[in-house]
A and B are shown apart, each in its own frame.
Chain A
Amino acid sequence: MRLGLVIDLDTCVGCHACATSCKEWNTSSITAPLTDYDPYGKEPSGVWFNRIRHYEVGTYPNNKTINFPMSCMHCENAECVTVCPTGASYKRPEDGIVLVDQDKCMGCNYCSWACPYGARELDRESGTMKKCTLCVDRLYDEALPVEERKPACVLACPAHARMFGDLDDPQSAVSRAVRDRGGYALMPELNYNPTNHYLPPRTRAPVPTHDLGRPSLARKVKEWVNRVIER
C-alpha cells in the first residue's frame, strides 16, 4: 500500500482551508503541538504541515493563477529518512507514510536539508522536526465513521481538490485520476519518487468577450461612481 494525496490544481481555489484544518487537527495530534511564535504580534510565524503558494503561469493574456498546496509527498525514495542519523525519521513499510518519532529526534535539521519539497519544519519549542503525518491517527481509527477516516485536509477542502487513496492500487480513484488527467509528481529529476501527485488544470475554451456590447451611459456612470466611492 502506498497512501498519498492527489491534488487537483484545476479546482483548488487557494482558500487555505486544508492548511487551517490540518493545523487544527495536528496541533493536538501525535506530533503535537504545532507551535506558533508571536501569533498575535507583528511577526507571526509557526509550524505548519501544509503550505499553499500562489503562482502565475504563462504571460498575459494567456496566463492563469495556480494555487499550489504542498505538504509531505511521502516519497518512495525518502532521502529525509536515509540521512537521519538518529533513526527518528522512518517510513512505514505497510502504507509508505513517512513519520518522525518525536522521542528520538535530536533536532539537527539534516532531514529538512534533504527534503526538496520544504515539507519538514523544526519546532523551536520542542526542538524536534515536524511534518505531515497524513493524519495517520485518523486513517485507522475505528471510532471514526468510515467516511471520516481520511486526512483532515481532504475532508476540509470545499472545492474537492484533494483526493486521498492508495496509489499502489491501479484501480483506486486516485490512481485513475492520475491516469486520466495526466497527473504528475514534482521535480522528477531529483528521483525522490513522491507518492503525492498533482493534476494539471484542464484546458477550456476561453470565455468569449468580443461580443459584449458597449456599456450604456447609465452603466458607465454607475461604474465610475463605484470606483470613486471605493476610494
Chain B
Amino acid sequence: MKPSLAVIFLTLFSGSGFGLVALLALDNDFRIGGGFAPIMTAILMGCGLVLVTIGMISSTAHLANPKNAWRAFTRWRSSWLSREGVFAMVFYPFAIADAGWVFFTDDTHGALALLLSNAAAVLGLATIFSQGMIYACLRTIRQWHTPLVPANFYALGFAVGAAILAAARIVTGGPDRALASMAVGLLLIAAVLKAIYYFWIGKPSGTTIQTATGFNRGTVRLLDQGHTFGTFLTREFSNCLNRTRARRLRIAVFMVGFAGPVALLAADLQHSIGLWAITAPVLALLGVGIERFLFFAEAQHVVNLYHGRMPASLPKMPEFMRRKAPSAVPLVAHYDKG
C-alpha cells in the first residue's frame, strides 16, 4: 500500500492522544503516583485534545472530495470508518468539558470530573478500536486482517500516552516511580506485541495468482499488464519495500520507539533525569511513526497478484538447510529384484 502521510498522522497522533486521555483518567481514578493536580490534569487533557485534533485534521488531507466528509458520520451501522468518526466526535465534548471543569473548579476527584474524564477515556478507546478495525476488517490485505492490528493500536497508544504522563510527572517533579514503571511496562508490552505481529505477517497467505485467476493446476505468469503507464491500482497498491530496508526500519522501530524510551525511563527510576524526560515520549512517538509507515508499506493488497506480484512474504527455504539435505538418497526405496 502507498503509505500516505495523512493516514499515518491520523492513526499516530489520535491513537497517542486517546491513549494519553485514557491513562490520565485511570491515573486520577486510582491516584496512581498520587494522581495529577487539577492544573496538570487540564493541561494533559488539552495535550490529548491537541494530539487527537492534529490526527483528525490531517485525515481530511487524505480525502479527494472533502466537501462530502460530513456524510462519513452516516453509515455507523456498517462501516468502521464511520464509527471511528462518530466516536471521535462524541469524544470531543466530554474531553473539553472535563478539561474546563477541572481547570475552573480545581477539583479532579469530584464525581462530575471523574465521570467526564472516564467517559472521554471510554470513547477514546472505542475510537482506537474502530481505527484498528478499519484495517483489520479488510480480507484483501493479509497483513492487516488480524486481531493483532487493533491490539497493536491499543498497545502503542497506551505506550506513548504513558510515556507522556511519566515525562510530565518527571519534569514537574513529584512521585514519579509508579508512572515511570507503568510507562516502562506498557512500552515493553507494546514491543512484544509488535514483535508477534512482525513474526505473523511473515507467513504466507492462501491467496495466490492461481486462485486469483482460477488456474489452480499450473504456473501462471504475467505477460502484459495491459496498460501503457501506471494506473490508480499500481499507484495505490504496488508500493513495495525491499527486505533489507524493511528489516532496518523494523530495527529502528524497536530501538527508537521502545528501547530508547525504556532506557530513559529506567534510568530515571535510579536517578531523576529532569528535563531529559521529554525525550522519552518524543522518541516513542518517532518510533511509532516509523512503525506506522511500515504498517502501510508492508501491506500487500491481493490485487497485486493480477499485476504478477506474488506475496512478498512467501517463504524460501534457507540455503543452509538445502545443503544439509541428503541429495544422493533416492526418494523411493529400491528393492532387489532377487
Contact = CB atoms under 8 A, between A and B. Distances in A.
A112 B236 CA distance: 9
A81 B72 CA distance: 13
Nearest to B237: A118
A165 to B, nearest CB: 20
Given A70-B306, A84-B79, A113-B140, A55 B72 contact: no
Contacts of B64: 106-109, 122, 124, 127-128
Nearest to B72: A85
B138 A114 contact: yes
A10 interface: no
Q: Looking at A85, A107, A109, which has the most chain B CB atoms within 10 Å of its CB? A: A85
Nearest to A57: B215
Nearest to B307: A53
Interface stretch (B161-169, B222-230, B244-252): B222-230
A58 interface: yes
Given A47-B232, A127-B65, A189-B207, A113 B141 contact: yes
Given A82-B78, A187-B302, A58 B219 contact: yes
Interface string A60-76: 00100110101000000
Contacts of B220: 55-57
A5 B301 CA distance: 24
B327 to A, nearest CB: 23
B206 interface: yes
A51 interface: yes
B81 A109 contact: no
Q: Looking at A47, A86, A124, which has the most chain B CB atoms within 10 Å of its CB? A: A86
Contact of A55 (B75, B137, B222, B228): B222
Contacts of A115: 140, 303
Contacts of B214: 184-186, 198, 200
B64 to A, nearest CB: 3
B15 interface: no
B108 interface: no
B212 interface: yes
A69 B306 CA distance: 11
Contacts of B66: 106-107
Contacts of B237: 118
Contact of A104 (B71, B134, B140, B301): B71
Interface string A172-208: 0000000000001111111110000010100000000
A48 interface: yes
Interface string B179-220: 000000000000000000000000000110001111100111
B81 A110 contact: yes
Interface string A27-42: 0000000000010000
B62 A57 contact: no
B242 interface: no
Nearest to B221: A56
Given A54-B224, A108-B62, A187 B231 contact: no
B65 A105 contact: yes
B80 A53 contact: no
A83 interface: yes
A54 B225 CA distance: 7
B231 A121 contact: yes
B301 A113 contact: yes
Contacts of B134: 110
A122 B69 CA distance: 16
Contacts of B68: 86, 88, 103-107
A87 B63 CA distance: 15
B232 A85 contact: no
A87 B218 contact: no
Contacts of A51: 226-227, 231
Nearest to A59: B219
A118 B81 contact: no
Interface string B303-336: 1001100000000000000000000000000000
B85 interface: yes
A190 B139 contact: yes
19 contacts: A43-B230, A45-B230, A48-B231, A51-B227, A54-B222, A58-B218, A83-B80, A83-B138, A86-B71, A106-B64, A107-B66, A114-B138, A117-B306, A118-B233, A118-B237, A122-B64, A186-B212, A186-B213, A192-B139
